[in-house]
Structure 1
Amino acid sequence: MKSVFITGCSSGIGLLAAKSLRDRGYRVITSCRKPQDLEQLVTQGFDAVLLDLDDPNSVQQAAEQVLSLTDNKLYALFNNAGFGVYGKLDSISRQQMEAQFSTNFFAIHQLTQLLLPAMLKQGEGRIIQTSSIVGIIATPGRGAYSASKYALEAWSDVLRLELAKTNIKVCLIEPGPLKTNFSANVEQTEKNRVVKNPPIAKRFTLPPEAILPKLYHALESKSPKVRYRVTFVTQLAAVGKRLLPDKLMDKILVSK
């Protein structure tokens, strides 16, 4: 039975992925930040570890627990946990920017490097990241979040290249608008100028289950894709970014 460690399992994509992969026959180890959420995961029959991505000591301890639970035979790491800081750049302090990167980027680097040796030793593994449509195109009001996802995309590209001669695959899942609690949990820096998704996004919003076929393929295909674009909006953004001149993209994005 292959073991998968998933971060951010208190709700949304993480919890859905944990339940689905368990049903699919994987040994799933979950994580969350709050003790009460940990209790809920244990009640549902999961192995669970506390993980505060803002605390390097917590990341270290969680990695040690995961390796102990799997007897140093972890097959896959799904770096799913994250949050968003929304607001114009001039409203975001250095501390808020650091917090955004601490959770969405620095912790992923630390956790992955702690777990990667076990994959290298066994000669196989999968590292899967939850990125975002704003990891493809940066939009006004989402500068901090977008910057953290751009960093994750570049970091994942480099890690994939550095592991090219191994049997460890690195994949990015790029959701667009999904029906989760993510937007409700966004940290808005300007209460009188809340950043919202454009109305057209509702037309293309999908349930979180839309990520599951992508996740299965990333875990199970002998030749997984580098990037899995989940929604039509994400696919359209990727095409536009590649084909349209920068100044035309600017006009489109500023007009929204």
Structure 2
Amino acid sequence: MTRTILITGCSSGIGHDAAHGLKARGWRVLATCRKPEDVARLTEAGLESFVLDMASPESIAAGVETLIDRTGGRIDALYNNAAFACPGAVEDVPPGALREIFEVNLIGLHDLTRRVIPLMRAQGFGRIVNCSSVLGLVGIRWRGPYVATKFALEGLTDVLRLEMADTPIKVILLEPGPIATRIRQNSIPHFEKWIDWENSPRVGQYRASLLRRLYEPGAPDRWQLPPAAVTRALIHAVESPRPRARYAITTPTKLMALARRVLPTPALDWLAAKG
């Protein structure tokens, strides 16, 4: 029987590559996006797609109903990939910005997962794969809101994995490092909406650092990998009889995972400040 996976955040980058990669391996892929125009584009490319907005409980509920209608309730795997970033110094991030990013990166993810678990329990199998980040292991400057959501996702996923150990449902974390996606460009509207950098005590630092990173093309990151590197880990996570609890993807993630375990905090802070 054809295996079915639901993937969130498929408009570009990691989710887009995962949708095509799993489809090429014979999976039935439900490739969801927030915007109807992206759904139309994916449909034209041969993917099965529908709208799923992780910021909207109503959209999440409707998305699960669409899943049930299309598959009869069968879902072999859920890949929670959708997320965004809101760059800025922590002291300049208003509460509304944190609420907005947590709604998508954690609360919506949790809502969708809770709605899918009963389907997996009923069928007697399933994989839940959450896309974390190297920034779920260690924080770096300007990324506070995103780091906070990924640290929270790591903890929530760890507990879910422990609690699901007495079921046939496997819970897995993917932890990418630098991947060639549009997350930087896609973060600009959130930065412009929420961060009053011109009135920040760090205005000089914004001009010297973050604004250049956001608005100017930078040199290629020598550690950066294509989204296909994440897809390879995802394939192992959903197809292996014994998936790992964590998949560290890219050299920086592997190094930071080790550093987090062995370095004292001052040394880890020094290392993170270089990032």
Scaled by the length of structure 1, the TM-score of the pair is: 0.95
- Note the C-alpha offset of 1:53: 1.1
Matched, 1:250 2:265: no
1:82 paired residue number: 83
- Note the C-alpha offset of 1:208: 1.2
User: 2: CA distance between counterparts of 1:3 and 1:42?
Assistant: 17
Give the superposed CA RMSD: 1.7
Q: Deviation per CA, 1:57-111, whole angstroms, max 9, x where unpaired?
A: 1111111111221101111000001100111111111000000100000001100
2:129 paired residue number: 128
2:156 paired residue number: 155
1:219 paired residue number: 238
2:138 paired residue number: 137
Q: Deviation per CA, 1:129-180, whole angstroms, max 9, x where unpaired?
A: 1111100001121111000001111010111011001111111111111111
User: 2: CA distance between counterparts of 1:144 and 1:107?
Assistant: 16
1:179 partner SS: coil
2:3 paired residue number: 2
1:43 paired residue number: 44
User: 1: CA distance between counterparts of 2:83 and 2:219?
Assistant: 24
1:65 paired residue number: 66
- Note the C-alpha offset of 1:45: 2.2
Unaligned 5+ residue runs, structure 2? none
- Note the C-alpha offset of 1:201: 7.8
2:17 paired residue number: 16
Contact in 1 for aligned 2:138/2:272 (Cα 8 Å): no
User: 1: CA distance between counterparts of 2:274 and 2:74?
Assistant: 50
- Note the C-alpha offset of 1:232: 0.2
Q: What percent of counterpart residues are identical?
A: 38
Contact in 1 for aligned 2:14/2:231 (Cα 8 Å): no
Q: How many residues align?
A: 255
User: 2: CA distance between counterparts of 1:185 and 1:221?
Assistant: 33
Unaligned 5+ residue runs, structure 1? none
For residue 225 of structure 2, what is the amino acid of its counterpart? L
Q: Deviation per CA, 1:30-54, whole angstroms, max 9, x where unpaired?
A: 1111111111111122221211111
For residue 13 of structure 1, what is the amino acid of its counterpart? I
4+ residue segments displaced more than 3 Å = none
2:221 partner SS: helix
Scaled by the length of structure 2, the TM-score of the pair is: 0.89
Contact in 2 for aligned 1:67/1:115 (Cα 8 Å): no
User: 1: CA distance between counterparts of 2:166 and 2:57?
Assistant: 30
- Note the C-alpha offset of 1:222: 1.2
1:222 partner SS: coil
Contact in 2 for aligned 1:177/1:201 (Cα 8 Å): no
Contact in 2 for aligned 1:51/1:59 (Cα 8 Å): yes
